[in-house]
Amino acid sequence: MILIIDFGSQFNQLISRRVRENNVFCKIVPPDIAISSIKKLNPEGIILSGGPSSIYEKNSPKANKVIFDLNIPILGICYGLQFMVDALGGGVKYAKKREYGFAELNLKKQINVLEGINKKTNCWMSHGDSIESLPDGFVISASTDNTRIAAVYNTKRKLFGLQFHPEVEHTPQGKKIIRNFLFNICKCKKNWTMKSFAKESVSNIRDTVRDSKVILGLSGGVDSSVTASLIQKAIGKNLTCIFVDNGLLRKNEASQLKISLKQHLNINIRFVSAVNKFLKALSSVTDPEKKRKIIGKIFMDVFENEAAKIKNADYLAQGTLYPDIIESVSAFGGPTSVIKSHHNVGGLPKKMKLKLVEPLKYLFKDEVRKLGKELGLPDELIWRQPFPGPGLAIRIIGKITRQRLAVIRDVDELLLEEIRNAGYYKKLWQSFAVLLPIKSVGVMGDKRTYENIVAVRAVTSKDAMTADWAKLPHKLLAKISNRIINEVKGVNRVVYDISSKPPGTIEWE
């Protein structure tokens, strides 16, 4: 196994992902993990993640320096490298010129983790500090025009460091660098698979829940459907799923999913309508964080009311994924920045009667789809595009009314119909529309109109941590725009969002 010490990077789980892609098990832990715990885990290697702090700041996160004396191979990435350098007597300072984005990496030595890497290759930088001096025994193996020390090694002590991020897609040879660390340096074996993950998860769920009953919030998306299937394998009839119609779903989605879920999941499902409760609470709310908090609270109220009807229901299960967590809270104790609350993470009330079970919380969407395949779920459920827990509440910018919901539902239906007809549904990570809080002047039937603006958003991604706007054909965009304006009453202008993530997020709110 590989141990990953989390210093708070937004990308720290991508490191875990890259390790798992190579069928190697890994575990993410906070910086304050005890040396005795590390020895007990007995990892083949340790990776120190990046992070938002500066090592010279007063409260910057630090691990026990003794890790460097354990004779375990260690790879430091960005802040992880700076911690290594500082801990062993080197110097780190504020960089005169910060480096964010692509940079050309020039290799001085193609050895150890850089073995087989092109002498000149692109890499992804994201740092405001730089290494001024190296500890004894370290050698520079790569530089960029802006960063003299971009990669280092100390072969004798099995210590390696990268100032850039090999874990992100934007470093083209990053996967190879991580493979070099796993297999050439740490001598890991390929023995972790989605099948083994499923087996381990079922065992963990049984050990945690025992004879208690679990209630699962079932939305019909791949996350909650896979969660339901996994828990059902663990505890059988002790799982009860609840589908809540919050009034924020797509057009006819509640009725369609009711049929689909009963057909594909041999699980006890209760359908609850709480439309009026949600819409009344959201009627005058415009702030997106408040929307999420309100939805999370009512969601829990509904669940706890249902839980009261089920004897020994002590657990609430959710299909929470890692991107939800990393944007909402620090997943492993590191100082990760909060981007936005997710209704099933930061949106949940602090005091809950039910304990949480979240078996997918360290997985990405494509990994969940692989798990769904392993569990035998149909493509109809596995390949649904992600739909946010707060639903259309965060796709309506500003106030939520029944009239505005009707507009965005009609737009969404037409958009997805055209995306499917053009053969793009599975190619895109997400495709959706956003109703803006402003109106524009238009001309329809020789008359002046003053109506709503709709933004269409379509992105490609592998894990939702980063995403690029989809280069859809102009002919398809024109057809989508034409149909929306002509067929949806109340819309006279359609715009296309060409923002990537980062700097934007996938959803607008």
- Structural element, H or E, at residue 436: strand 430-444
Rounded Cα distance between 444 and 426, Å, is 35
Please confirm, yes or no, whether 167 is among the known catalytic residues: yes
Please confirm, yes or no, whether 165 is among the known catalytic residues: yes
CA-angle at 377, arms to 372 and 379, nearest 5°: 95
Rounded Cα distance between 415 and 395, Å, is 14
Q: State the burial class of residue 210 (Cβ atoms within 10 Å of its Cβ: 0-12, 13-18, 19+).
A: exposed
Q: Where are the alpha helices (DSSP H) in 283-430?
A: 288-307, 322-328, 365-375, 379-382, 402-421
In sequence order, what are the residues at sequence separation of 6 or more whose Cβ sits closer than 8 angstroms to the Cβ of residue 408?
392, 395, 396, 433, 434, 435, 454
CA distances (Å), 393 to each of 116, 239, 286, 328, 414, in order? 49, 29, 10, 18, 19
Residue 289 sits at φ, ψ, to 5 deg, of -65, -40
Q: How many CA atoms lie within 13 A of 70 on its CB side?
A: 21
3-class SS at 353? coil
Rounded Cα distance between 380 and 367, Å, is 17
Residue 240 sits at φ, ψ, to 5 deg, of -120, 125
Distance of CA 307 to the CA centre of its chain: 29
In sequence order, what are the residues at sequence separation of 6 or more whose Cβ sits closer than 8 angstroms to the Cβ of residue 198?
230, 233, 371, 374, 375
Contacts 24+ apart (CB under 8 A), 195-202: 195/374, 197/371, 198/230, 198/233, 198/371, 198/374, 198/375, 201/230, 201/234, 201/359, 202/230, 202/233, 202/234
127, 165, 342, 343: which is the annotated catalytic residue? 165
Q: Which token pair is 432?
A: 């959706």
What is the torsional sign of CA 8, 13, 18, 22? positive
26, 44, 78, 507: which is the annotated catalytic residue? 78
**Sheet strand arrangement including 120-133:** 26-29, 2-5, 45-48, 74-77, 159-162, 151-154, 139-143, 91-107, 120-133
Rounded Cα distance between 67 and 75, Å, is 12
First to last CA, the chain: 37
26, 44, 127, 167: which is the annotated catalytic residue? 167
Q: Which token pair is 171?
A: 């470093």
Please confirm, yes or no, whether 342 is among the known catalytic residues: no
Rounded Cα distance between 407 and 488, Å, is 7
Q: Which token pair is 375?
A: 């569990």
DSSP track, 210-256: TTSEEEEE--SSHHHHHHHHHHHHHHGGGEEEEEEE-S-SPTTHHHH
Instruction: Write out the catalytic residue numbers.
Output: 78, 165, 167
